[in-house]
Amino acid sequence: MTLNNQAAFDAAQKLFAGGVNSPVRAFKSVGGTPPFIDRGEGGYLYDIEGKRYIDFVQSWGPLILGHANQSVIDAVVRTAKKGLSFGAPTLLESELAELILSIYDCLDKLRFVSTGTEAVMTALRLARGATGRDLIVKFRGCYHGHSDSLLVEAGSGAATFGAPSSLGVPSDFAKLTLVAEYNDLASVQKLFDERGGAIACVVIEPIAGNMGLVPADEPFLQGLRALCDRHGALLIFDEVMSGFRAALNGALGWTRVRPDIVTFGKVIGGGMSVAALGAKREIIDNLSPIGKVYQAGTLSGNPVAMAAGVATLRTLIDTPNIYDTLGARAQRLVGGFAAAAREKNIALQTAVRGSMFGFFFSGKPVRDFDGALASDAARFAAFHGAMLKRGVYLAPSQFETGFISTQTSEAMIDEAIAAARSAP
């Protein structure tokens, strides 16, 4: 059995396209060899060579309680001993749904699915079914999963690899997706002026995490709400990344705007593959089996994943001031990065929303996809490699977001800042 990252990657490339099962893991945009992970403990990762890393990726967000949290592990093991999946209702589904709905009071009901892609795909179908319209509006740089209708001007891995759209997406699908500019209400107004009677919904990451961390402005979100109301369209908040991350109530902790549909993922599974969509009763009851909008999933709401989600959310709900602590540590981390950059006369822009953080090597604030694309990706790649060498694991793409967990200690923040100061 190999104990070398390079050898492991060489072997993986013979087994998988690009050697990975999700593109950004290949380190194409930052260079070098991806470490192959052996285990995670709290705020740390350990690779197969035994090297330890401070983990600011946290499995791309879901591990807000850190790796191998004991309450989550205990819940998973206890539930798995009863059976991994039944394809039938369980009480754990209702328990997790009640926790989510108790926080998101703009929603009446949920539908659990297995992935964020599936959640947003279903939300779009629901919006089209509820309105009887076909067109959707999305924003350049926002990534909503890899379903065909949404791989148009997308962020995340699609941006990382210089392909804002994907081969294999039929042109007729793309024609049903209208693209606007993030934080630019006039671009949305123009689409509604031209096609408003045919637009079913506007879907947005209210806190974009897939072009780097780029929050939406409050007046912009308010304008979207007003446009949707005026034209009879639905507003969808994609909170697959920001839900229970930016605050206990996700983006709703940062805006007064309330959407018609919300999609969830990441944190509500506590590390397991879980996602959901929620809406008011009159909208979500269009889903089968009581409505005519079909959706199904054999493993949706599987008990092991539900147990992990319940254990995670109960901890978040029951721990006083948990988001204040997470936010303060995220602010201190990026503040330290910014100070290190100033010492070297390097321009750096930073952003924090709760336990989410991001930074761009740019001379001006980043408010949209063009701003993200204009940042210095080569400098980011060099910084990423230097930090990885110093035992700090950051997302291997400029167009991703970093995360703080409850197990990210002050000492870890100090070590990461020291690494940034010593990086060339």
State whether the Cα torsion 329-159-58-386 is positive or negative: negative
Same domain? 337 vs 310 = no
Q: Which residue of the set 55, 184, 238, 368 is catalytic? A: 238
End-to-end, the C-alpha distance of the chain in Å comes to 35
The total number of structural domains that make up the chain: 2
CATH code where residue 94 lies: 3.40.640.10
Same domain? 284 vs 406 = no
Residue that finishes a domain, picked among 263, 294, 318: 318
Same domain? 172 vs 310 = yes
Residue that finishes a domain, picked among 318, 335, 370: 318
Same domain? 385 vs 358 = yes
Query: Which residues are within 8 A (CB) of 14 and not within 5 positions of it... i.e. 6 or more apart?
Result: none
Residue 289: is the preceding peptide bond cis (ω within 30°)?
Answer: yes
Contact assessment for residue 242 and residue 251, using Cβ atoms and an 8 Å cutoff: yes
Q: Which two tokens stand for residue 74?
A: 């205990």
The whole-number pLDDT of residue 172 equals 74
The whole-number pLDDT of residue 151 equals 66
Q: Which residues of the chain have pLDDT under 50?
A: 155-164
Contact assessment for residue 56 and residue 395, using Cβ atoms and an 8 Å cutoff: yes
Write down the pTM of the prediction. 0.94
Three-state DSSP at 49 gives coil
Three-state DSSP at 167 gives coil
Distances (CA, A) of 295 to 130, 236, 279, 291: 14, 18, 15, 10
Same domain? 226 vs 355 = no
Same domain? 80 vs 46 = no
Q: Which residue of the set 44, 143, 182, 393 is catalytic? A: 143
In angstroms, the CA 186 to CA 352 distance is 26
Contact assessment for residue 140 and residue 369, using Cβ atoms and an 8 Å cutoff: yes
Residue that finishes a domain, picked among 318, 335, 363: 318
Active site residue 143: yes
Domain residues for the domain of 375 are 5-68+321-422
Per DSSP, helices labelled H in 184-254 are 185-195, 218-231
Q: Which residue of the set 55, 138, 266, 323 is catalytic? A: 266
Bridge partners (DSSP) of residue 392 are 54
Same domain? 98 vs 183 = yes
The whole-number pLDDT of residue 165 equals 61
CATH code where residue 407 lies: 3.90.1150.10
Same domain? 86 vs 116 = yes
């959407």: which residue's tokens? 259
